[in-house]
Structure 1
Amino acid sequence: MNEETRPATVRVFIALAPPDPAKEELAGELEPALGTYPRMRWNRIEDWHITLAFLGELPVGTVPLLRPVLAGLAADHPRPLRLALRGSGTFDDRVLWSGIDGDLDELHMLAADVRTAVKGCGIAFEDRPLRPHLTLARARRGDGSSAGEIAEGFAGFTGRRWTAERLHLVGSNAGRSSGPIHYRDIESWPLPV
């Protein structure tokens, strides 16, 4: 199938985004590492998010199916979700992340509701267990960088609590270019605050 006949797709996930003050607080903690580990691929602060459901590549025509169910889910969420950025860790010593603290039971329930809504739209996706985190950077393969060294440097970090304000349906350019991954809101809906 050539590019002209291939259906248009978009890479999609559903997420929460910390407010700017919470991201800036963590960015200040990470500032020394940025210069010390320039070979890491650092995510842009405006792209930091907590993924609730990763849907992968979807036909563009599928995305409108998600809008009404996610809008309803956000509107019906029973109470404010209070979270904080806390600690650090790695996946495979290559992916650096900050952990999430706060109303974790509520966060897991929201993720379960989101995943049920997506399945109700007939959209199949890989339903991995939720591991709440904020991905910050990735080590390039074979360059000797270790995300573990950075994680040790801010393992004791505890950010101020914040309230999740919006549920985001996000698209990304992953796999479409050789440059950095960029995310954009397709749409977002207010949560109770």
Structure 2
Amino acid sequence: MARLFTGLEIPSEIAQRLTPFRGGLPGARWIEPSDYHITLRFLGEVDGSLAADLDAGLAEARARAPFAVTLDGLASFGGDRPRALYASVVLTPELADLQEEHERIARRAGAEPERRRFTPHVTLARLNREAEASAVARYLSEAGVFPSLTFTAERAALYSARTSRGGGPYLVEAAYPFGLCDAFEDDED
């Protein structure tokens, strides 16, 4: 059984721009910058058959153009019981469409429907009980201005995760380039 999810990779230059936000929060278990990603569809523990069907579906996904992805702030999940600190991602029509397609592919492969609403983000830290809501609020207010960070997503990836308490390491098992990349290059000739 493999622990899988689909997502978008964060380019190393963007990951490096996020590193100044690491540290200074008791109870935070910081994610390694090389493991930063935007989850599109979490699957959890899946058998080989579902994994193979998922891979085939992702490989046959409809062609799409690369698109801009923008990180625009810091926030936390969990309210009074914070559990994660993250960089928020602007939900564009292109990103929403890609996530919806991954949901359809996952269901066709045999996965249960995702019950949570899609909130695109890059997890920076997992928080334990030591991370009190007041400390997280103070951290967020003292973090300073978050620079808008934009990159071009050119492919989606199928990741595996080591069974752990979260936070990686994550491995790209397969990548699915967006099919219209070559078409745009050919048009310029």
Same fold per TM (> 0.5)? yes
Q: Point out the more displaced range, 165-174 or 41-50.
A: 165-174
Q: Secondary structure at the match of 1:151?
A: helix
In structure 2, distance between residues paired with 1:131 and 1:120: 22
1:110 aligns with 2:110: no
Which residue identity lines up with residue 2 of structure 2 in the other structure?
V
> In the alignment, is residue 150 of structure 1 matched against residue 148 of structure 2?
no
Q: How has the CA–CA distance of structure 1 residues 147 and 10 changed in structure 2, closer, same or farther, with 3 Å as cutoff?
A: farther
Counterpart check, 1:187 vs 2:174 = yes
SS for the counterpart of 1:161 is strand
Post-superposition offset of 1:134: 0.6
Which residue of the partner structure matches residue 2 of structure 2? Answer: 10
Q: Which residue of 1 aligns with 2:187?
A: none
TM-score of the two chains, using structure 1 as the length reference: 0.80
How do 1:1-193 and structure 2 match up within 5 A? 9-28=1-20, 30=21, 33-34=22-23, 36-37=24-25, 39-73=27-61, 76-92=62-78, 93-101=82-90, 104-142=92-130, 144=132, 146-154=135-143, 156-175=145-164, 181-191=168-178, 192-193=180-181
Percent identity, aligned pairs only, is 27
* Structure 1 residues 78 and 26: alpha-carbon distance in aligned structure 2, compared to 1, 3 A threshold: same
Deviation at 1:116, TM superposition (A): 0.6
Question: Where does the alignment leave 5 or more consecutive residues of structure 1 unmatched?
Answer: 1-8
Number of residue pairs the alignment of both structures matches: 176
Structure 1 runs of 4+ aligned residues shifted over 6 Å read none
In the alignment, is the contact (CA less than 8 A) between 1:86 and 1:156 conserved in 2? no
**Worse overlay, 17-26 or 123-132:** 123-132
- Cα distance in 2, alignment partners of residues 112 and 64 from structure 1: 20
Relative distance call for 1:125 and 1:185 in structure 2 (3 A) is farther
SS in 1 for 2:53: helix
Q: Which amino acid is 1:105 matched to?
A: P
Deviations 1:46-105 (A, max 9, x none): 1111111111111133211111210121xx33322101211010012331000113x611
RMSD after superposition: 2.3
Unaligned runs of 5+ in 2: 182-189
132-141 vs 60-69, greater mean Cα deviation: 60-69
